[in-house]
Structure 1
């Protein structure tokens, strides 16, 4: 009978946590590198050094820099989309449910690193044939959530009935999050830099109210489409 130190199953059990921790360090270092420098200028040498591993070990797990980048995008997508589709909305009135969903769309992009990765990800997906990922796999659940909220709102008389839910979802996602991946455009056109917390709050509130206004049957003065006189020192959690 082999000794415990030579038992393959025991060795695997001990090695698995080490491998997971190594992959975690590589992924975290790669995320910072890609967010800071972009895909083109990121260097595997720097990622390996930041992760405390050799370049050869990085290439042992990932065949290329592009594959590593795709894995970083997938990890971010799995987290953000997973949290988004998990949001409970059925207990909320339609207006509150839509506001909550929109605020959860925006929330991850308040992380500057994710915003930078999103910019790189757009360019990457437009120029590469990428395999299925969490964004694609979870999109049907997100579509279902939006369709359900709009249907409940139409039934209650809060929302217009003649709204295409998929077109509305795509437009809402663009309106609410685009400022975080196109900061230059927003700074130039309206003077808001969403890297600043107060400006991010102003954009978030305006964008969510703008989207709500597109489907509400009656628009009240409760949420005017104007800038607030002054953002609160600690912006409230509107989700």
Structure 2
């Protein structure tokens, strides 16, 4: 079973329910498959194990998703739409520009910390060179919506004089994601290399604060220094 990175709490398997409707059954299969694919990758993940953990016949996987590949694509869509929904719910357009950026930075870090399966699935799909993600249209559309929202925040900040001009929304999003993703994704190797436990509460809080500080310094328009008169 997978665990929450921050607490070590185990993620429960879907409840084995009798008389489920189609949407509930599909949701349970996706939840089970998310854990199985994150743990074993696409090639080694077992259809039987996914079905068994939900109390459903494996034939239902083919009925709802067509194939193992179809189920895997549904899982990718589920995890990517999950983070896009989180970002949408931040309602950035109703926040002051700098507050919006800080909230996005903090929420992204928390999402990664609380969703280790997302990190694992993104890693695996990168190893596959986005072979299956290419077959999904919804993920691209939702990411485009995110970039538009970030651009709107940046434009407002430039207009009011709180954010420096010329920041590319995509590059900003890459930086926000990368500063958290790298740290958590490489927690085992870096703990060994630096002889420092990267996952203690104190270490995680220090990393969160560092990411917020560096990103806010990057986007903020420096205040003009007063000039002294001779």
TM (norm. structure 1) is 0.73
Q: Is it true that 1:193 corresponds to 2:198 in the alignment? A: yes
Of 72, 75, 93, which residue of structure 2 is paired with 1:72?
75
3-state SS of paired residue (1:126):
coil
**Contact 1:105–1:177 (CA<8 Å) still a contact in 2?**
no
| Counterpart Cα distance in 2 of 1:124 and 1:51 | 27
Conserved? CA contact 2:73–2:132, under 8 Å: no
1:44-193 residue pairs with structure 2 within 5 A?
44-110=47-113, 111-128=115-132, 130-184=134-188, 186-187=190-191, 191=196, 193=198
Contact 1:74 1:133 survives alignment (8 Å): no
Q: Distance in 2 between matches of 1:98 and 1:156?
A: 15
Shift, 1:192, TM fit: 5.1
| CA-CA distance at 1:137 after TM superposition | 0.7
Shift of 1:163: 2.2
SS at match of 1:36: helix
Find the aligned partners of 1:34 and 1:157 in 2 and give their Cα distance: 46
Q: Deviations over 1:54-96 (max 9, x none)?
A: 2222223233322211111111212220221232223433221
Q: Distance in 2 between matches of 1:146 and 1:72?
A: 26
Question: Residues 79, 39 of structure 1: CA spacing in aligned structure 2 closer, same or farther, 3 A cutoff?
Answer: same
Unaligned 5+ runs, structure 2: 1-18, 224-230
Residue 163 of structure 1 aligns to a residue whose secondary structure is: coil
Mark the CA change 1:189 to 1:156 in structure 2 (over 3 Å): closer, same or farther.
farther
Aligned to 1:214: 218
Query: Which whole-Å CA distance do the structure 2 matches of 1:211 and 1:187 have between them?
Result: 24
Aligned equivalent of 1:37, options 19, 40, 47: 40
In structure 1, stretches of 5+ residues that fail to align are 1-15, 220-239
Which residue of 25, 28, 50 maps to 2:28? 25
Q: Distance in 1 between matches of 2:119 and 2:190?
A: 14
Residues 155, 32 of structure 1: alpha-carbon distance in 2 compared, 3 angstrom cutoff: same
Distance 2:107 2:204 in 1: 14
Moved more, 199-208 or 119-128: 119-128
Shift of 1:128: 4.2
